[in-house]
Amino acid sequence: MVKSIAVFGVNRTYGSVLAKKLAAHPFRILVLSEEFDDCPSLFLDYPDADIQILNCSAQTGWEADIIVMHVSAKNQLKLVNSIREFVTKKVVLNITDLSGDRLLNDEIDLESQLPYSRLINLSFIENFEGQVLFSISGRDRDALEETEAILKEAGFANVHYKLSESNQL
């Protein structure tokens, strides 16, 4: 079964990197039309990719098996409110920059906003050779393992993942 992955934030640095890596593999990528206008190279660079452009964040969240969020803190709460009822038991990857943006994202308590989702925090790190590595953390072991497998299949090298101490599954 091909996984459907919604990428909210395809027009931001790591959202774009992730969408492009996923598009090169057998995943169905769901993108919001308003974001896709800023990232048309996705179709040009991957003409055979299964990319679907939708115009509603709620529909995008409903259709996806996995949700990727890389949006500004200003837009994060609005997005969460629009997809909350459609992401129950789904893996939600929250991309945080290891720069100042991470602090902004941390202001919103996603665990309380999405209590029935399988929340994974995802950070990307570029090493000295220009290779993009990732680090993931979360409370759901199965979601961590699924996320790690998808990221490796997409071509990322792994740094590590961390299972949070509380609520280990």
Sheet of 118-126, strands arranged across? 50-54, 28-32, 4-8, 66-69, 91-95, 118-126, 132-138, 157-163
Mean pLDDT along residues 128-133? 82
Strand partners, 31: 53
Give per-residue pLDDT as tens, 79-116: 999 999 999 999 999 998 655 444 444 457 888 899 99
Q: What percent of the chain has pLDDT over 90?
A: 44
Among 83, 93, 7, residue whose Cα is nearest residue 50: 7
Which residues have CB under 8 Å from 68's CB, separation 6+? 5, 6, 7, 8, 9, 15, 18, 93, 95, 122
**Segment 24-51, tens digit of pLDDT:** 999 999 998 777 666 667 777 888 899 9
Q: Report the pLDDT value the prediction gives residue 98, as an integer from 0 to 100.
A: 58
Confidence at 168, pLDDT banded by 50, 70, 90: very low
pLDDT at 126 over 90: no
> What pLDDT is recorded for position 122?
92
- Residue 110 has which token pair? 């996603």
CA distances to 22, 42, 48, 133, 169 from 143, rounded to whole Å, are 17, 27, 28, 18, 10
Residue 23 has pLDDT above 80, yes or no: yes
Domains and CATH numbers, the chain: 4-163 (3.40.50.720)
Q: Collect all residues with Cβ–Cβ distance below 8 Å to 131 and sequence separation of at least 6.
A: 157
In 3D space, the residue among 132, 130, 125 whose CA is nearest the CA of residue 102 turns out to be 125
